[in-house]
Amino acid sequence: MITSSNSVRENAPLLSLTIRQNTSAEADAIKKLINDVASEGVWFVTERYVPTTEWENVFSHPTDFPNHLLLVAEYQKRIIGWCRVFPVFGDKSQHVVDLGIGVAEDRRDQDIGTALMNVAIEWAKRQQFEKITLSVSPINARAIHVFDKVGFVRTGVRYKQFKVRDEYVDEVLMERFLI
């Protein structure tokens, strides 16, 4: 049985949190945070940062791609969260973007994920996208709670889509319409 380290809320929200677009100087810090969260092993489809064209675009030229967004959450000069919104493959899906998110393990349950999601949703509306998609493991109760809270709905399941430590894990598909 795969378990997660999800917990109930214990921490107070951070008062001086900044949510903003990344800068090109921050690639290494963000990749390190992604690696830290991915190496927890249960949240993402990879256990480390894997470069893709979209990631390299936002790391090198954060403001040059109107259909890409990388947000960071900064607190006391430390990057403690990210949220990326990337285009979906294919000319016929140009109205759709896909979202991924992570918060440093020691900073969860302090409203950071919710704040990142809300800023990303407002950005996607301004860019006139029509829908945001994401996928999540069914054991990730905290993430699903946050996604529900900001208006995502479950649209399907891909059964046994992953194998984590030799156990099958489903993939829950969620989406939020913006129009």
Residues that bind ligand COA (CB under 6 A): 6-9, 37, 43, 101-103, 108-114, 136, 140-143, 145-146, 149
Query: Which residue's CB is nearer to ligand COA, number 72 or number 136?
Result: 136
Tell the smallest beta-carbon distance from residue 96 to ligand COA (Å): 17
CB of 156 to ligand COA, least distance (A): 15
User: Cα(109)–Cα(115) distance, rounded to whole angstroms?
Assistant: 11
Nearest distance from C-beta of residue 100 to ligand COA, angstroms: 6
Q: How far is the CB of 25 from ligand COA (least distance, A)?
A: 23
Q: How far apart are CA 113 and CA 37, in angstroms?
A: 13
**Calpha distance 84→91 (Å, rounded):** 20
Q: Would you say 41 or 66 has its CB closer to ligand COA?
A: 41
- The residue among 24 and 141 lying less far from ligand COA, judged by its C-beta, is 141
User: Closest Cα to residue 70, out of 79, 46, 145?
Assistant: 79
| In the complex, minimum distance from the CB of residue 35 to ligand COA, in angstroms, rounded to a whole number | 12
27/172 with CB nearer ligand COA:
172
* H or E stretch at 124: helix 112-126
How far is Cα 100 from Cα 117, in angstroms, rounded to an integer?
9
The tokens for 52 are: 């893709």
Instruction: Return the number of the residue (39 or 94) whose C-beta is nearest ligand COA.
Output: 39
* Residue sitting closest to ligand COA (CB): 113
**DSSP string covering 52-112, please?**
-HHHHHHHH-TTS-TT-EEEEEEETTEEEEEEEEEEPSSGGGTTEEEEEEEE-GGGTTSSH
